[in-house]
C-alpha cells in the first residue's frame, strides 16, 4: 500500500515536468489545440520514459508574486550588467582586474543552487566555474573587481539573488533557514557595531 502511495507521490512530483514538456510541444507548433495537446502529451510520455532522468526534488511551493518579482529583478540585472560590461569593453584605458570568488549559499537545496547558478551566469559579468554540492558553494569568475569592497558587494548581490529565489520557489525549510541566517548575521552586525 505504501509503495503504491510512494509511486503515486513520485508521479505527482513528475507532473510539472510532464506538463512543461507538453506545453513546450505546443509552443513549438505555435498553436494551442486539443489535438496538439494530445500529441504533446504522448511525446512527453515517450521522452520521459526513454530519456529517464533522476527525479528533481521539487519543493512543492511556489509563490507567484515573488516569482514575478524575482524574474523582473533578473531582467533588470541583465540589462544593467549588459550596459556595464559593454561600457567596459568600449571605454578607453581599460585595465583588467578580475576575481574568482567562493560564495557559500545559506540554504542546502539542489534546486535553489541550480537556479542561483543559472541566474548568476546569464547576468553578464559573472560566470560559474564550479559548484560544490556538499557545501552548496558556488565558484564564480567575476569581471572588474578592483578590491575587497567590490567583491563583498558582489557577494551580497548573489546572496540577495538566492534570497529572492528561495522566497519564490524554495521549500518551507529553506525559507526558515534563510530567516535564521538573516537573524544571525544581523545579531553579529549588531555586536560588531
Which parts of this chain interact with other proteins (CB under 8 A)?
24, 26-28, 30-32, 78-79, 82, 85-86, 88-90, 94, 96-102, 117-118, 121-122, 124-130, 132, 139, 141, 143, 145-148, 151
CB of 179 to other proteins, least distance (A): 27
* Distance of closest approach, residue 5 Cβ to other proteins, in angstroms: 33
Using a 10 angstrom Cβ sphere, with 0-12 exposed, 13-18 middle and 19 or more buried, the burial of residue 40 is buried
Give least dist CB 104 to other proteins, A: 10
Q: Round to whole Å and give the CA distance between 93 and 48.
A: 53
Please give the Cα distance from 115 to 65 (Å, whole number): 17
Rounded to whole angstroms, how far apart are CA atoms 101 and 140?
A: 5
| Cβ proximity to other proteins, 9 vs 118, nearer residue | 118
**Please, what is the minimum distance in Å from the beta carbon of residue 47 to other proteins?**
15
81 vs 175 by CB, closer to other proteins: 81
Only one residue has cell 513520485, namely 10
Nearer to other proteins, 126 or 171 (CB): 126
Which residue, 93, 72, 105, 87, is CA-closest to 143? 87
Amino acid at each position: 500500500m505504501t509503495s503504491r502511495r510512494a509511486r503515486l507521490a513520485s508521479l505527482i512530483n513528475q507532473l510539472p515536468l510532464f506538463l512543461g514538456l507538453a506545453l513546450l510541444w505546443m509552443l513549438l507548433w505555435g498553436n494551442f489545440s486539443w489535438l496538439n495537446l494530445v500529441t504533446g502529451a504522448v511525446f512527453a510520455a515517450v521522452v520521459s520514459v526513454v530519456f529517464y532522468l533522476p527525479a528533481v526534488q521539487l519543493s512543492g511551493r511556489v509563490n507567484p508574486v515573488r516569482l514575478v518579482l524575482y524574474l523582473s529583478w533578473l531582467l533588470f540585472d541583465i540589462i544593467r550588467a549588459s550596459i556595464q560590461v559593454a561600457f567596459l569593453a568600449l571605454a578607453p584605458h581599460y585595465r583588467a582586474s578580475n576575481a574568482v570568488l567562493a560564495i557559500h549559499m545559506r540554504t542546502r537545496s539542489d534546486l535553489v543552487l541550480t537556479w542561483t547558478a543559472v541566474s548568476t551566469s546569464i547576468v553578464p559579468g559573472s560566470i560559474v566555474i564550479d559548484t560544490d554540492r556538499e557545501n552548496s558553494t558556488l565558484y564564480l569568475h567575476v569581471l572588474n573587481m578592483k578590491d575587497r569592497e567590490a567583491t563583498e558587494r558582489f557577494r551580497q548581490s548573489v546572496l540577495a539573488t538566492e534570497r529572492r529565489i528561495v522566497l519564490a520557489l524554495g521549500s518551507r525549510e529553506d525559507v526558515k533557514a534563510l530567516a535564521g541566517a538573516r537573524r544571525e548575521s544581523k545579531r553579529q552586525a549588531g555586536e560588531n557595531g
